[in-house]
Structure formats: C-alpha cells, structure tokens
C-alpha cells in the first residue's frame, strides 16, 4: 500500500479526547491517509476553518448538523461563504441533513436548514456530505427536489441495499465506515458487497464507531484502513484496490489530487 492514498471522507479528528490529536493526524499522514473534517454547528465552522489550516493532508467541510439546526442564523451562510472564499481546503458542505432518531420535535426546522444549505452548496458548486438517521425517505425526497448540481454523499450509510441502489440511481455516493466491520452489521455488509465500486467512499466518523478490532474504543482517522480491508474481504479483492477506487471517486467529487 506504499503509494496508495486513502481518502477518509468524514472524520471529526478535532474532537478526539483519549488520543492526542497531533499524533492521530501524524499516524494518518504516515499511512497516506487524507482526512476531511466536517463541522457541526454555526459556530464551529470557524474552528474547522482554523483547524484544517494547521495540518497537511487535512481538509474540511462547513455546514450545520441537523441536531444543531437551532444554531443556524441569517448570518450563517454569509459566514460560510467568507470561509470558503479564503480557505481553499474547504471542499464541501457538511455535515448537513436530517436526524429523527434523537429528537423529532423540530423536524420542520431541520428540513428548512437542510434545504437552505443544499441551495447554498449548489451556488458554491460544492459537494454535500449528508447525515441521515431514521430519515432516509425525507432525505432522498429533498435531494431529488432541491439539489441541482452538487454531488451528494450519504455519510455513515445505514440503509438497506435496495435503498443504496435507489440513491445511486440518483447519482448519490455511499460512504461506509467502521460499522461494516461489526459482526452483526448484515445490512452494511450487504451494501458493501454489492454496490458498484464507482459509488463507494470510505470514512471513519471518528471519534465514534471504531472498527473491529477497536470497537468500543475511541476511533481515529488511521482506522479507515480496517474499513477498506473489510470491504476488500467482502468483495474478494485487495485492500489496495478498494483504496485506489475510492480515492479516484473522492478525487472526482472533490476535484483535487490526492498526490
Ligand atoms: Ni459526523
């Protein structure tokens, strides 16, 4: 795997607690892993902007997470636009979307903030990194209706193979993380085994959802290699092949060259 890069399309490496952040990033750099860090609230877009400028091979998204929709104000899109114009390492809008798992009391607000950010991404011509939890149908419906020209990625994809295929038909990419390594993750394994590789991306979503053999511990960007090797095993191919194809996919989406 010496010259093969892996693009970790979703990592909150700035949120690690048990692991030293500089060490986690240098572990990833040494393994040729490029890390993309999403933001979550209307305020931490500024933190992510500053954070990613400190490190090589670390890029970022600006966006407001559905559970944080209440932090979104009239100024938020202006702030995002300023950051995007001044920092070329911001390469997408995320993580945005819908989450009906924790709190269903402000579904309408979540939808409104999601739609505003989709339209904004379209104007900026940037891809979307999307969080969708127990909201698959609404997410797809909103994307079909409002998204004109941004490539959409469903991060930490948790739907069925059938739903994955429906998304791919709409040109949506599927990002898989540590869950695919869990013994009982039948749906995720089925998705990983069967979707066209041209629509697959890798991620960790660290510090959460560490893959086996670190399940239950704090996750970190480096562990994306376990995700790649599990998918390789499921598809009866090499980790290198999975790394190569997903890197080509990410380079196409984000319009950059890994190296
Ligand atoms: Ni996340």
Give tens-digit pLDDT for 146-159: 999 999 999 999 99
Report the mean per-residue pLDDT for the chain: 96
Output the CA 29–ligand 1 centroid distance in Å. 20
- Architecture of the CATH domain 6-254: Alpha-Beta Barrel (3.20)
Mean pLDDT (whole number) for 172-186: 98
Domain ranges of the chain: 6-254
Q: Which pLDDT score is estimated for 1? A: 58
Tell how far the Cα of 206 is from the centroid of ligand 1, in angstroms. 8
- Give the per-residue pLDDT at 56: 97
How many angstroms is it from 205 CA to the middle of ligand 1? 5
CA of 170 relative to ligand 1 center, distance in Å? 23
Measuring CA to CA, which residue among 201, 211, 255 is closest to residue 59? 255
Asked if the model's pLDDT at residue 259 lies above 80, the reply is no
Q: What separation in Å is there between the alpha carbon of 87 and the centre of ligand 1?
A: 21
Q: What is the pTM of this model?
A: 0.97
**Percent of the chain, pLDDT > 90?**
95
Interval 119-142 mean pLDDT: 97
The tens digit of pLDDT for each residue in 56-67 reads 999 999 999 999
| The pLDDT of residue 257 | 81
Q: Which pLDDT does position 102 carry in this prediction?
A: 82
Q: How far is the CA of 4 from the centre of ligand 1 (A)?
A: 25
């Amino acid at each position: 795997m010496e010259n093969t890069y892996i693009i970790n399309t979703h990592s909150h490496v700035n949120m690690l607690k048990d692991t030293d952040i500089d060490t986690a990033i240098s572990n990833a750099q040494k393994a040729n892993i490029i890390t993309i860090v999403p933001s979550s609230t209307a305020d931490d877009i500024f933190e992510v902007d500053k954070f990613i400028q400190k490190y090589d091979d670390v890029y970022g998204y600006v966006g407001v997470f559905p559970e944080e929709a209440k932090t979104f104000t009239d100024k938020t899109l202006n702030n995002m636009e300023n950051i995007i114009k001044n920092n070329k390492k911001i390469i997408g809008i995320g993580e945005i979307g819908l989450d009906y798992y924790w709190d269903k009391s402000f579904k309408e607000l979540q939808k409104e903030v999601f739609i505003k950010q989709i339209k904004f991404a379209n104007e900026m011509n940037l891809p979307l990194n999307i969080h969708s939890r127990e909201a698959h149908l609404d997410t797809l419906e909103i994307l079909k209706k409002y998204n004109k020209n941004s490539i959409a990625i469903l991060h930490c994809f948790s739907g069925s193979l059938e739903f994955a295929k429906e998304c791919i038909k709409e040109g949506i990419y599927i990002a898989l993380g540590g869950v695919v390594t869990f013994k009982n993750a039948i749906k995720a394994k089925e998705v990983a085994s069967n979707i066209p590789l041209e629509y697959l991306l890798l991620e960790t979503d660290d510090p959460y959802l560490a893959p086996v053999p670190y399940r239950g511990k704090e996750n970190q960007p480096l562990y994306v290699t376990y995700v790649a090797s599990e998918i390789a095993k499921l598809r009866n191919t090499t980790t290198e092949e999975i790394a190569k194809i997903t890197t080509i996919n990410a380079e196409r989406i984000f319009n950059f060259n890994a190296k």
